[in-house]
């Protein structure tokens, strides 16, 4: 009888996920706060066939200490924390959790658009600080910008981009532009979207939403010259990764009226420093990387990741990161 795979779980997961994993594997669970400390992970990993994690770097340092490792399952759709070439060289498969969080992230993007355009955070503070007094506030000082019938430009028309498009077009009657590595005729047909150059999108959009994955090619994908192409009345929304934007250029654009405002779920460094100038600007809405942060979605992600790990270790089904498909065929 074949021995059961040994897996290391580096953060707390829902009880039903742990029960599922225990049916198929011998499990060791980190039960402390957050993720297992790096030094402990490096010390323990030598004994395990599988690893369940979220955001922890899987690099040469870790892989050199993991001679038995066959699969790493991440509780995330992004996998920029995987060193793909190092993993492939050692025959270690990486999996992720697409699809399950698309709608939840799209909801947050619309929330950031609405909050930015209607100045929700700024005016919430205005009321709570006792500044809303009859006869002392000009009506126009409270004006925001309409979202309905405005032009939305989406950079990166993947699954989440399509979910955003659905909400924007069907819910707010927005005009839709998109820029993507490849054209998507089905998106154009469903949403009346126009495929265009990045330059045209930036020049014509009232809201620019960045949804590109983080890769070596997309680091600082949006820079100073891109903000300068945007309308002075435009809003920039980022729910992808903080490193896809030159943050200093964004700060400059917001300070100097090059663009009107921003809604940010991600930052160049996370958690961002309390001294980050973005946190001092009234025309920026900031949230702490909560794109998929609802109980249901996070639980669903953990279950998908658990099934992925079992599938990758036993020859079953798994959402394997595309770059690892060649390992499955080998």
Rounded to 10 deg, the angle between the 102-117 and 120-128 helix axes is: 60
Query: Rounded distance, CA 252 to CA 32, Å?
Result: 40
* C-alpha distances in Å from residue 169, one per residue of 10, 140, 180, 238, 245: 40, 28, 18, 19, 26
d(CA 10, CA 29): 6
270 is catalytic: yes
Contact 5, 25 (CB under 8 A): yes
DSSP annotation string for 89-139: HTT-EEE---STTHHHHHHHHHHHHHHHHTTHHHHHHHHHTT---TTTS-G
Distance of CA 31 to the CA centre of its chain: 25
- Contact (Cβ atoms closer than 8 angstroms) between residue 219 and residue 243: yes
CA distance 72 to 318: 11
Q: Which of 241, 260, 298, 307 is catalytic?
A: 241
Closest CA to 181 of 148, 219, 152, 217: 217
> For this structure, is 289 an active site residue?
yes
The one-character DSSP state at 53 is E
d(CA 98, CA 304): 9
3-state helix, strand, coil in the chain (%, to 5): 40, 15, 45
The answer to whether residue 298 is catalytic is: no
Detail the DSSP E strand segments found in the chain. 6-9, 26-29, 50-53, 71-74, 93-95, 151-155, 175-179, 194-195, 207-210, 235-238, 261-264, 284-286
Residues assigned a catalytic role:
241, 270, 289
């Amino acid at each position: 009888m074949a021995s059961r795979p040994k897996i290391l779980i580096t953060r707390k997961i829902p009880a039903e996920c742990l029960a599922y994993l225990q049916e198929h594997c011998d499990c060791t669970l980190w039960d402390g706060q957050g993720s297992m400390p790096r030094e402990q992970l490096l010390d323990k990993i030598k004994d395990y066939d599988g690893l369940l994690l979220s955001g922890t770097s899987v690099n040469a340092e870790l892989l050199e200490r993991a001679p038995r490792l066959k699969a790493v399952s991440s509780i995330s759709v992004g996998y920029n924390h995987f060193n793909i070439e190092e993993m492939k060289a050692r025959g270690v498969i990486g999996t992720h959790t697409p699809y399950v969080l698309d709608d939840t992230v799209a909801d947050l993007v619309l929330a950031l658009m609405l909050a930015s355009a209607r100045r929700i955070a700024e005016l919430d503070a205005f009321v709570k600080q006792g500044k809303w007094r009859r006869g002392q506030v000009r009506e126009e000082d409270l004006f925001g910008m309409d979202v309905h019938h405005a032009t939305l430009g989406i950079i990166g028309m993947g699954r989440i981009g399509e979910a955003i498009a659905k909400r924007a077009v069907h819910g707010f009657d927005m005009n839709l532009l998109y820029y993507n590595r490849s054209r998507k005729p089905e998106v154009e047909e469903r949403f009346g979207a126009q495929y265009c150059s990045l330059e045209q999108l930036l020049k014509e959009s009232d809201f620019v939403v960045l949804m590109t994955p983080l890769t070596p090619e997309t680091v600082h994908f949006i820079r100073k010259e891109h903000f300068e192409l945007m309308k002075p009345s435009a809003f920039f929304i980022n729910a992808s990764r903080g490193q896809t934007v030159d943050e200093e250029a964004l700060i400059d654009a917001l300070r100097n009226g090059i663009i009107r405002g921003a809604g940010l779920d991600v930052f160049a460094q996370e958690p961002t420093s309390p001294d980050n100038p973005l946190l001092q600007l009234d025309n920026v809405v900031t949230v702490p990387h909560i794109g998929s942060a609802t109980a249901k979605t996070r639980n669903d992600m953990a279950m998908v990741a658990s099934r992925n790990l079992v599938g990758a270790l036993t020859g079953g089904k798994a959402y394997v990161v595309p770059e690892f498909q060649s390992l499955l065929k080998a």
